Amino acid sequence: MPVLLEHFQKQLDPSTLTVVSPDMGRVRVPLGPVAMFAASNFPFAFSVPGGDTASALAAGCSLVIKAHAGHPLTSQRVHGLMQQTLHTLHLPAGLIGMVQGAGNEIGSQLIQHPLIAAGAFTGSTRGGAALLKLAQARPRPIPFYGELGSVNPVFVTAAAADSRAQEIADGFLGSFTLGQGQFCTKPGLVFVTRGTDTDAFLHKLAEVVRADRQGRSCSSPGRSARQRRMTSCVPSVDPVSTMTQVESRGRTERRQRSMMAAKRASTCGATWA
């Protein structure tokens, strides 16, 4: 053995040795189906086809979208366009599913479904906290990505209120009513520095609000009645059966692609083992 080791040591040239560095690579894999709770604002931009949907698809995840009860017909139409896109791209229809219905029961069942691997939510603090609790209470907790609440504070110093109260009041109203109140960055609270002529500033603010007749928020009077009528037009969907459909659609699409590939290969004279 000593003679053998000495032989190998003589044959090795240190200049030709290759030092193998440790593998420091990191590979990201999709989590799985995501339960995405659509936002109430901007139905064409941040709801069914919003940023959470794009993020999940970019990560390689499928989705089951819980449409917002405030615009069910718009959500249904947009989801139909997304299904057409999937068909054009020869992607499984189950890649993007959607459930409808008002109330908390459907959302609760969806976030607790065993096939759901993550949750995404944009909405109220109360609703998001409830869904987060359900996601954490599962036998195997799942990640929950939430954007909760939008009460943004505005601080007004005494010097600013004294020198440009009208400008601040106009800017406050413009920010609050921008996009009919749909922007989540709109101000929700105003803090005025002690020592400021608070009454004068609030009077200015009240004046600009009364003068504006177009700055109305999404929650206008009568919206609840319209929402109930619109929601009644769209039947509620059981998320459990929807998840089964999503899973079966994916299997059907894969089976069809395999059969088509086998048929093409057979016509080319390929042999399958």
> Which of the residues are catalytic?
147, 184
228-234: long-range contacts, CB 8 A cutoff, minimum separation 24: 228/102, 230/71, 230/72, 230/73, 231/69, 231/72, 231/100, 231/101, 231/102, 233/72, 233/73, 234/72, 234/73, 234/76, 234/100, 234/101
Under 8 Å between Cβ of 29 and 59: no
- The residue among 174, 178, 177, 201 whose CA lies nearest residue 190 is 201
Under 8 Å between Cβ of 173 and 209: yes
Tokens 């007749």 belong to 213
Question: E-strand spans in the chain?
Answer: 34-37, 63-66, 96-99, 118-123, 144-148, 152-156, 187-192
Question: E-strand spans in 13-99?
Answer: 34-37, 63-66, 96-99
What's the CA gap between 112 and 139, in Å, rounded? 9
